[in-house]
Structure 1
Amino acid sequence: MAEEREFEIEKQEMETPEGVENTRTGRTYVPRIDIVELNDGIRLFADLPGVDENSLDIMLENDQLTIQGYVDYERPSGYDLAHAEYGIGNFQRVFKLSDQVDQDKITASIKHGVLQLDMPFASGPRTRKITVQAGS
């Protein structure tokens, strides 16, 4: 069952909202991620070599979690680049969060180029009763 949820998260992540445009020019890299379901929440790992907390932005708006930033690499002077696979420049990943995640308790840390996002499950269902008023 965890595999099904992982597939659904990945599927939702790949969909781009209609009308969204990238304001930065050039190539935007898509970091590789792993998503693990724990007993009390979801943990996301993102591979971000060369990134620290100062070159990383994580934003949450309307159930949409965005990880973005910029990675730069200083090549040694006096050398010509013969081959490059290291992604430098802008990076971005966008995820749609489910109602199961307690968005107020999401935490993030980065160590050795690996971002870890902990997203605990909400303590209860987010269902509420809506009172119906009599019309006048």
Structure 2
Amino acid sequence: MNTEVTQTADKTPAETPETTTGGRIYRPLTDIVETDEGVTLMLEMPGVAAEDVDVTLEKRVLTIRGKVHPAHPEKLQLAYAEYGEGDFERAFTLSDDFDPEKIGASVANGVLTVTLPRAEQAQPKKITVTAS
């Protein structure tokens, strides 16, 4: 199969633009699964709630953003940190094969799953072969 989803930007914390909050923006790791029915994207976005995810499609570019609300325990002072906190952003260019009205997204256990169903006319057709 030919993958119709391509990444438009490769961002790392050091290469991202500054945000209005002064925080970092991370490019979430993504798995892409392709079937005859469409494509599913699974993005790692720890600490992002469903209401803090923004998925937009404009001119075939699917942009995914996730806002993290850092948790700072009261009366505790951080002695050492390995986990960098920041928001998430990733963009993909889609082919015309997808139905924009049927794109869906859900978040569970720190993973955002975006389903991109193929348009009816773009789905492969099975041809039945008969014996004569």
Q: Normalising by structure 1, what TM-score?
A: 0.72
Equivalences for residues 14-93 of structure 1 within 5 A: 14=9, 24-25=19-20, 26=22, 27-93=24-90
Matched residue SS, 2:97: coil
Distance 1:84 1:13 in 2: 31
Structure 2 stretches lacking a partner, 5+ long: 123-132
Contact 1:29 1:87 in 2 (8 A): no
Q: Normalising by structure 2, what TM-score?
A: 0.74
Aligned to 1:116: 113
Contact 1:70 1:88 in 2 (8 A): no
Moved more, 34-43 or 22-31: 22-31
Structure 1 stretches lacking a partner, 5+ long: 126-136
Contact 2:103 2:116 in 1 (8 A): yes
Deviations 1:49-77 (A, max 9, x none): 11111111111111011111311221223
Aligned to 2:128: none
Distance 2:61 2:29 in 1: 18
More helix by share: 1
Total equivalences in the alignment: 116
Contact 1:31 1:92 in 2 (8 A): yes
Deviation at residue 22 of structure 1 after TM alignment: 5.0
Deviation at residue 15 of structure 1 after TM alignment: 6.4
Aligned to 1:128: none
Identity %: 42
Deviation at residue 23 of structure 1 after TM alignment: 7.1
Spell out structure 1 runs of 4+ moving beyond 4 A: none
